[in-house]
Amino acid sequence: MWHRSSEVFVLMGTAVDAATRDTNGSLIEKNPTVVFVLGGPGSGKGTQCANIVQHFGYTHLSAGDLLRAEIKSGSDNGTMIQNMIKEGKIVPSEVTIKILQNAMLESGNDKFLIDGFPRNEENRAAFEEVTKIVPAFVLFFECSEEEMERRLLGRNQGREDDNIETIRKRFKVFVESSIPVVEHYKSRGKVRKIDAAKPIEQVFQAVKTVFTVHNDKAVA
């Protein structure tokens, strides 16, 4: 996917090519610390990320929220993104990666929680290839589908994909496409698994231990 798009950049000429190189160049200089936060839909990634931000001074980048903001901004890709999300499908890597790169560059911070990305092996390989960033570790929230379904149907955030039909599709995509990403990092000793079926406070206790062991100091 990314390779094809690089060829397009080349065909389109040097301006876009140079812009892409600049983004990468300055992001490499920034050399950010990245933690990937993975887990099924409704496993509590967003909730726990808010706690981690408060406690350890990271900036939270939710790939899903950034994609939804892209739809709202009326960008050229908006309709395509909206259709993918409605179907629970994974948006093309180059789109999501560009948005994440820009968010990291625009931020004054250099520590990021990237929540809900990478969602498949292609996302993962493209991100590493393009940004040269390897995550410090991967926080993985483990939760049963029964519990996740209960949370998603109860949360009422007005999301077009929080209906039972799309939820089932998202579960299937998670098992088939996202678990292999967790396995990839597991084989590299990078996965910190959390029992996410527990109450929010108890989950955060376990999360805090992971960041403390990683030597992240609590802020204020």
Which residue of the chain is nearest Mg ion when measured via CB? 46
CB 173 within 8 A of CB 89: yes
178 part of the interface to ligand UDP, by CB under 6 A: no
Cβ closest to ligand UDP, residue 32 vs residue 41? 41
Does residue 118 have a known ligand-binding role?
Answer: yes
Sheet order of strands, 33-39 included:
59-62, 111-115, 33-39, 137-142, 191-195
Dist CA 129 CA 86 (whole Å): 28
Q: Which residue has the tokens 């109860």?
A: 154
CB 40 within 8 A of CB 148: yes
Interface residue with ligand UDP, options 53, 71, 80, 84 (CB under 6 A): 84
Which residue of the chain is nearest ligand UDP when measured via CB? 64
CB 93 within 8 A of CB 126: yes
Burial class from Cβ neighbours inside 10 Å (0-12, 13-18, 19+) for residue 38 reads buried
Does residue 5 have a known ligand-binding role?
Answer: no
**The Cα angle at residue 136 between residues 135 and 141, in degrees rounded to 5:** 80
- What is the pattern of x (binds ligand UDP, CB under 6 A) and - over residues 137-176? ------------------------x--------x------
The pair of structure tokens assigned to 39 is 């887990």
Interface residue with ligand UDP, options 27, 90, 104, 139 (CB under 6 A): 90
46 part of the interface to Mg ion, by CB under 5 A: yes
Does residue 46 have a known ligand-binding role?
Answer: yes
Does residue 117 have a known ligand-binding role?
Answer: yes
190 part of the interface to ligand UDP, by CB under 6 A: no
Which residues does residue 59 pair with via DSSP β-bridges, in sequence order?
112
Which residues does residue 62 pair with via DSSP β-bridges, in sequence order?
115
98 part of the interface to ligand UDP, by CB under 6 A: no
Does residue 43 have a known ligand-binding role?
Answer: yes
Please name the amino acid found at residue 10.
V
Cβ closest to ligand UDP, residue 52 vs residue 85? 85
Interface residue list for ligand UDP (CB under 6 A): 41-42, 45, 63-64, 67, 84-85, 88-91, 96, 116-117, 119, 161, 170
Binding-site residues from annotation for a ribonucleoside 5'-phosphate = 68, 89-91, 116-119, 159, 170
Interface residue list for Mg ion (CB under 5 A): 46
